Amino acid sequence: MNTSHERDQTVMEMLSVKNGEGWKALRAIMTPTFTSGKIKNMFPLVCDKADALVKFSMKEAAEKPYVDIKKNFGRYTMDTIASCAFGIECNSLVDEKAEFPRKAEAFFNVSYTSVAKMMLAIFAPKLIKLFRLSINATETDFFIEVVKQTVAAREAREAGPRRGDFLDLLMEARDNADNPDTKHVLSDRSLVAQSVLFIIAGYETTANLLAFSTYLLAKNKDQQRRLRDELQKIVAEKGDITYQGIMEAKLLDACLQGESRDSTYGSITRFTPTWLLH
């Protein structure tokens, strides 16, 4: 998309948008960032947020006639992304006015204005460039600025322990002296773009997956008991919920990644665990 707006130029650096040799070079740098070992290092951060989610939801269940679990999952997902990606504690579960989730929710809200801009970009791209209009949501600026400030703070700090989060891994890849090409491919703008992509790609997808899975488990109590038994067995063997234990939980994997093997079930089965279709 040919646009001169700073926001759009940053978005165009995202891995999901780039193509050709640019995509290939960037993917080669990004892929090692998601090795199982590096993801495992983030596992304690995820567990901390999961514990907070359980505690908050149990408190709500005791005080209210119902719990809006989809909203809670959305807040949990944003807290986890903010922590794992940027080392930011936004505490959106307990803070109704937390800025991170509000901006994320607004970002995914499709308005008439955003549709009109997209139509202009398709049918009258010269007008977009002439008037320096942005085709991306203004909330994108918030996430771009958060990343820029966090990067600047980490670059200014003295040598010390690293969190090992997503942003640390990207900065490490950018500054990799063994591969001078990374400085060109993973520029400062590109680094910001991949970090914002982490938020965009992980927020609504994860929250919706958790919400659908929870709903289906609530509707299928026998399978819910099977899953609980599997997890209790893992805790008994490992002493706690561990990264390795999660990797070995086959029924949990089926719950979250199941897909229909029979087209007669229709499109809704994209969200339906395989074991519910047997």
Cα dist. 9→17, 119, 220, 242 in Å?
Answer: 11, 19, 47, 40
Calpha distance 236→230 (Å, rounded): 10
User: What separation in angstroms does the CA of 201 have from each of 78, 193, 205, 209?
Assistant: 11, 12, 7, 13
Tokens of 258: 């199941």
Query: What's at 87, amino acid-wise?
Result: G
pLDDT averaged over 10-residue windows placed end to end, the chain, 278 residues: 70 89 88 80 89 94 91 91 83 84 80 75 74 77 88 78 80 75 76 86 89 92 94 93 91 76 35 39
- pLDDT value for 49: 92
pLDDT tens, 193-203? 888 888 888 88
Per-residue pLDDT tens over the stretch 48-107: 999 999 999 999 999 999 899 999 999 999 899 888 877 788 888 888 888 888 888 888
Domains of the chain: 6-219 (1.10.630.10), 220-278 (no CATH)
Angle formed by the axes of helices 188-219 and 250-257, nearest 10°:
100
Angle CA(143)–CA(212)–CA(208) in degrees, nearest 5? Answer: 10
Tell me, what's the pLDDT at 96?
A: 80
Categorise residue 175: left if φ over 0, alpha if ψ from -120 to 50, beta otherwise: alpha
How many Å apart are CA 2 and CA 16, to the nearest integer?
16
Alpha-carbon distances of 98 from 93, 102, 122, 146, 184, rounded to whole Å: 8, 7, 35, 14, 36
